[in-house]
Structure 1
């Protein structure tokens, strides 16, 4: 039954992609500044984007045991409510980079962009970001990575506590020392914890 749910949600996600703004054919941004994307996400909201991702976040929870509230919160922060250059151009809703020049088993390619990292001082670097063919694929890759990577082994036993879970994830997910606090703020302000409760 879970497989049928995932396929049904996948069809919904593919249809929902049409709701997201598209760039002109062949257009590619010059810069992907994730720090600016994060700040924009904290200043805005988009009920339509949230309604689009809610069932997909629940499906990720069902398949990969990642709290739906955290999935939704991270996608909002990483894509600025679906409006970031990575989300619009590459269907990358979680800021995932390629490993070397490999996109992994779900992404379909890599795009090279300048971006910023904080280690601890913030500076610009070149990075290859994953490219997906759909919103659904980006969310499934997120669930796959968080449920299988050794980087997030400490987080997995905390799945019943979304705040603790994302705090543990943030240690390896981002170089921003305030990353977990930003995701938690989005989860709090949008009551994303309701996504972790069963549907009526």
Structure 2
């Protein structure tokens, strides 16, 4: 998978679940790039380097890892979560970060710089250069553009969007993404059917 495709794959899932977890897509993509070397050095589809603690019920992979112990880098063998696909890895990462009180501040970050700092301060990584590395990846690849695509519904469209959800015109997901012709026709069909009782 080339770099552009890797970015798009991770970014697409991050945008899809932004409204549920409030994790900036730029942070998600930059961590995936950094932790997996653009998806090349993943651990059994684990592209975030998430370790497998006692509560993890899924598959596990043992790997050597380099950690910063506060004074120096040390190499050790550790357990990591293993997944059937990279998409599963992204979804699990979002669930982990989005559902943990430990990372509560990350969900409230105003921008990617703050998000990078807060996730480091919450203890996600031990590398003292982690924040700078994430910011550099985001800026050099313009990943902040993904954050714009994940912004909440415009204030002027809230009423219409809520109506569309309540009437079954839309499923209420991904308000900022482009619609396919199939989706547009389906929404028009539902509107016409509702107005005219078309059968």
What TM-score, normalized by structure 2, do the two folds share?
Answer: 0.69
Q: Is contact 1:117-1:123 (8 Å) kept?
A: yes
Question: How many pairs are equivalent?
Answer: 149
The residue number in structure 2 matching 1:93 is 47
Q: Is contact 1:117-1:124 (8 Å) kept?
A: yes
Superposition RMSD in Å: 1.7
The residue number in structure 1 matching 2:88 is 137
CA–CA distance in structure 2, aligned partners of residues 52 and 147 of structure 1? 19
Selected match of 2:69 from 119, 129, 138? 119
Q: Is contact 1:60-1:139 (8 Å) kept?
A: no
The equivalences for 1:37-186 within 5 A come to 46-86=3-43, 90-100=44-54, 102-104=55-57, 108-120=58-70, 121-158=72-109, 160-171=110-121, 172-186=123-137
CA–CA distance in structure 2, aligned partners of residues 53 and 157 of structure 1? 21
Question: Secondary structure of 1:197's match?
Answer: helix
CA–CA distance in structure 1, aligned partners of residues 85 and 61 of structure 2? 16
Q: Is contact 1:155-1:168 (8 Å) kept?
A: yes
CA–CA distance in structure 1, aligned partners of residues 3 and 107 of structure 2? 29
Per-residue CA shift, 1:163-196, capped at 9, x if unaligned?
A: 1012110121001011111011000000000001
Query: Structure 1: which 4+ aligned runs deviate by more than 3 Å?
Result: none
Per-residue CA shift, 1:85-116, capped at 9, x if unaligned?
A: 41xxx11010000113x425xxx311111211
CA–CA distance in structure 2, aligned partners of residues 161 and 85 of structure 1? 27
Larger of the two Rg values belongs to structure:
2
Question: Secondary structure of 1:125's match?
Answer: strand
Question: Secondary structure of 2:17's match?
Answer: helix
What TM-score, normalized by structure 1, do the two folds share?
Answer: 0.69
CA–CA distance in structure 1, aligned partners of residues 10 and 101 of structure 2? 26
CA–CA distance in structure 2, aligned partners of residues 51 and 148 of structure 1? 24
Query: For structure 1, which runs of at least 5 residues remain unmatched after alignment?
Result: 1-19, 21-44
Query: For structure 2, which runs of at least 5 residues remain unmatched after alignment?
Result: 150-176, 179-199
